[in-house]
Amino acid sequence: MRKIALEEHFSNKLFEQFDQEAFRDRGFPVLTDPKRKDYLDHGFFAPVEEYRIPKMEENEVVLQILSPDTQAVQYLTDSREAIRMAKTINDMAQEMVGRNMEHFKAFAILPMQDPKAAADELALRVKEQGFVGGFVHGHTHFSYYDEEKYDPVWDKLEELDVPFYMHPSNPEADQIRMYEGYEELLGNTWNWGCVTATHILRMVFGGVFERHPRLKVVIGHMGEMLPYMLGRLDEGYEGRRIWEKGKITNPPSFYLKRNLYITTSGGYRPETMRCAVEALGADHLMFASDYPHFPMEQAARQVENSGLSQRELEQICYENASQLLKL
């Protein structure tokens, strides 16, 4: 079954340099062991025509939406430096797409330190270069997007009618105390999902989707636990009379079902997929593999063996992304 994949990364040695400089003295432990780094380097740096594209063809992935595998832009404190770095990264993405237009499109990474500059960068890349949406690695310098200063970005996303993809990132070092002695719970095991889901909930309860009803936000990894918490979230809204704060007028599930889209990146079990479809609807799920962090062939088999109907699989694997990204 043909597939469009949305959380597919590209990298180079410059990105590694960016991250090394951005993470210096952050106090967050290194999570990638040397053997895994060798595996990732092969996926990133092997010739695209000899490795990545054949992998796509083997698994019927007809298009990858590229995102940069560097978190450095979001960690910078100097907005001018963040803007310059974002432009450099987006230029590299455009170059990679230009060499393989049949196989790739790209998200534009956004320098959210300066919301107006981020909105302008998004408009430039979408209107003039065919980028299909905005992209960030979680919070920007530990600032969360429920703040109204980010409204220019949401306005531009609504105007352009393109989505905003939020990828996981590490929290501040002092926020990992609960995991002390259990670093194995950090990263993709548990911590990234908590951080990303909390970020989305801040946007929900902070009224971002109330103010911007046409905003479309995408997160990966089967929704970072959110599809399975709708009842609990609504219970809190009702039991604590959250509407009286004046920021949102509907239960949290209303906004998550309307404004949130999720992708299938990473590992999950068949019942996880079925629950997500039941919670959000098959029209809000899209295929992704998280290449090269997760094996493309395993990602393809997971969705194909999930027990969903042919019609649901067609929506998730291809049609929803094609419609959302206007392909």
Q: How many CB atoms are closer than 10 A to CB 298? A: 12
- In the annotation, is 290 catalytic? yes
Q: Report the chain's terminal Cα–Cα distance, integer Å.
A: 17
At 9 the three-state DSSP class reads: strand
Report CA torsion sign: 103, 217, 77, 72: negative
CA atoms within 13 Å, Cβ hemisphere of 71: 18
Q: CB under 8 Å, gap of 24 or more: what pairs does 242-247 form?
A: 242/205, 247/205, 247/206, 247/207, 247/210
Cβ contact 171:195 at 8 Å? yes
Catalytic residue among 33, 114, 283, 290: 290
Closest CA to 87 of 66, 73, 69: 73
Residue with tokens 């997007």: 145
Residues forming the active site: 290
